[in-house]
């Protein structure tokens, strides 16, 4: 076993990609608003390395505004098919404009147009309003590359704590906790 939680995550994530039936990159993202009220939702992991775990969103969405008010967040991966989960806690930073541009360019055309058409997390009077805005964006950008909207970017959760949990019979689970220590990690075990 390695004592590097990022390498352990890599191995578990690779295994989940081969066995998890839907969205192995799905992760719960927990944020807290300026009044200390928590909120959680599912987002998709779009990249990770030793710097952290990246997802993209409308920065004016509820999660974007909460991260602006409190730059700490938690992630949770639960891979039922391999009976494992990974919990990550840390500060959040914006990805570079180049990273956001590169990922945005890799999205499908309809996803790009949807990013322009959606006022994510804001009230919507009826579905037809959004569909009409989507069609307006289709006409606006017809025949040309769709640029990344100024309100759309990515965030990186820079881990301070990573817990790797493995299911065991009779609820005698294994929990390995890694805490950032300088440039490395210290490891301990937790009771199930």
Cα–Cα dist 132/175, whole Å: 49
pLDDT of residue 1: 53
pLDDT of residue 3: 84
Q: Which residues participate in catalysis according to the annotation?
A: 171
Phi, psi of 86 (to 5 degrees): -130, 125
pLDDT of residue 75: 98
Smallest CA-to-CA distance from 82 within 159, 5, 161, 19 is with 19
* Domain architecture of the chain: domains with CATH: 5-100+156-190 (2.30.110.10)
Chain segment 1-54, per-residue pLDDT in tens:
568 999 999 999 999 999 998 999 999 999 999 899 999 999 999 999 999 999
Q: Residues 29, 40: contact at Cβ < 8 Å? A: yes
The full length of the chain comes to: 192
Q: What is the pTM of this model?
A: 0.94
The low-confidence residues of the chain, meaning pLDDT below 50, are none
């Amino acid at each position: 076993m390695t004592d590097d939680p990022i390498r352990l995550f890599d191995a578990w994530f690779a295994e989940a990609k081969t066995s998890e039936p839907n969205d192995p990159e799905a992760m719960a993202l927990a944020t807290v608003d300026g009044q200390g009220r928590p909120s959680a939702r599912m987002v998709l992991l779009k990249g990770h390395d030793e710097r952290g775990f990246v997802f993209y969103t409308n920065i004016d969405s509820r999660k974007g505004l909460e991260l602006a008010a409190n730059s700490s967040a938690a992630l949770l991966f639960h891979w039922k098919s391999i009976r494992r989960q990974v919990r990550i806690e840390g500060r959040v930073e914006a990805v570079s404009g180049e990273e956001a541009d590169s990922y945005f360019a890799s999205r499908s055309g309809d996803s790009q147009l949807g990013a322009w058409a959606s006022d994510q997390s804001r009230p919507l009077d009826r579905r037809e309003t959004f569909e009409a805005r989507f069609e307006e964006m289709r006409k606006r950008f017809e025949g040309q590359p769709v640029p990344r909207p100024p309100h759309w970017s990515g965030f990186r959760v820079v881990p301070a704590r990573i817990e790797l949990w493995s299911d065991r019979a009779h609820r005698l689970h294994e929990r390995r906790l890694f805490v950032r220590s300088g440039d490395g990690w210290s490891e301990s075990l937790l009771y199930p």
